[in-house]
Amino acid sequence: MLPTPRRRLELLARLGYAARGVVNLLIGGLALLAAFQRGGSATGSKGALQTLFFQPLGTVLLAIVALGLFGFAVWRLCQAVLDADGHGRAPRALVIRLGQVISAIIYAGLGVFALGLVMGWGSGGQGEEQSARDWTRWLLSQPFGRWLVGAVGLAIGGAGLGMMVKAWSASFARRLACEAATARWVIPLGRLGYAARGIVFLLVAGFLLLAAYRTDPSEAHGLGGALLSLQAQPFGRVLFGLVAFGLAAFGLFEFAEARYRRIEAPGDQGQPGPARARTA
């Protein structure tokens, strides 16, 4: 018997969380290797996908991840457009849903990038650092360009602060359906992961704001550049290693979400569902 549309959506969403876990685990793992000078590198999502592509069975693995990334994009659209999580239409809820639309676009783009590697459409294009600077240069060339870049920086900074709040409050636990014994290791992974991502987002936002202030696109950095900037700070190697560890932890947390996240089809919010994560 073919799965129902609701079941297909759930499978796509869970594969999507797993694919996001692969990407973040690779980003964190490569950064950890770099922190311990074991041959890794500070890279972003595209660099992680390229790394996976060049591993044994990389084409097969990347094709599965690409499917997952497209599935996650579909799930994000359901969250945003159909309000699958039941946020409502309050101003704060609309901001969250707009963020989910942007997330859908980003992950669909990553899926296209991964599929391009699998199909041999290109070598992967320019690096993420150059891409960040090119986008910043393009925005700066538009009317009110400095304000546009500043607005993007503030939006990314707001997302980073939101992640820090999630790390502190563990609000993500409300959407997990797992027993207390499982929650005792899943929730700390999520807290550590969201905190690390929040730091990286705030760094990227800071560089964009600096680029807007100086009208200089060379000040913009992607995820890899933001990570490397930590090394220039006091105790930089330690900070770099801790954030890298947090990003890897977020990858593991995404695997847990793939298993335990409550996936509700639009209109299911009022229906009884599995028990949520319990920490007592």
Question: Does 126 reside within a domain?
Answer: yes
Banded model confidence at residue 277, pLDDT cuts 50, 70, 90 = low
Question: Does 23 reside within a domain?
Answer: yes
Share of the chain above pLDDT 70, in %: 90
Domain count for the chain: 1
* 203-233 pLDDT tens trace: 999 999 999 999 999 999 988 888 888 887 7
* 19-55 pLDDT tens trace: 999 999 999 999 998 888 776 788 889 889 999 998 8
Of 192 and 121, more confident: 192
* 142-183 pLDDT tens trace: 999 999 999 999 999 999 999 999 999 999 999 999 999 999
Question: Does 265 reside within a domain?
Answer: no
**pLDDT mean over 265-279:** 51
User: 3-state SS of the chain?
Assistant: CCCCHHHHHHHHHHHHHHHHHHHHHHHHHHHHHHHCCCCCCCCCHHHHHHHHHCCCCHHHHHHHHHHHHHHHHHHHHHHHHCCCCCCCCCHHHHHHHHHHHHHHHHHHHHHHHHHHHHHCCCCCCCCHHHHHHHHHHHHHCCCCHHHHHHHHHHHHHHHHHHHHHHHHHCHHHHHECCCHHHHHHHHHHHHHHHHHHHHHHHHHHHHHHHHHHHCCHHHCCCHHHHHHHHCCCCCHHHHHHHHHHHHHHHHHHHHHHHHHECCCCCCCCCCCCCCCCCCC
> Can you give the pTM of this predicted structure?
0.89
**pLDDT mean over 267-274:** 48
pLDDT at 240 over 60: yes
Q: What is the pLDDT of residue 122?
A: 62
Q: What is the pLDDT of residue 1?
A: 55
- Write down the mean pLDDT value for the chain: 88
pLDDT at 274 over 50: no
Question: Does 102 reside within a domain?
Answer: yes
Question: Does 269 reside within a domain?
Answer: no
Share of the chain above pLDDT 90, in %: 65
Question: How many residues are given for the chain?
Answer: 280
Banded model confidence at residue 6, pLDDT cuts 50, 70, 90 = confident
Question: Does 271 reside within a domain?
Answer: no
Of 187 and 121, more confident: 187
Question: Does 80 reside within a domain?
Answer: yes
Question: Does 278 reside within a domain?
Answer: no
Q: Which domain holds residue 127?
A: 5-260
pLDDT at 70 over 50: yes
pLDDT at 18 over 80: yes
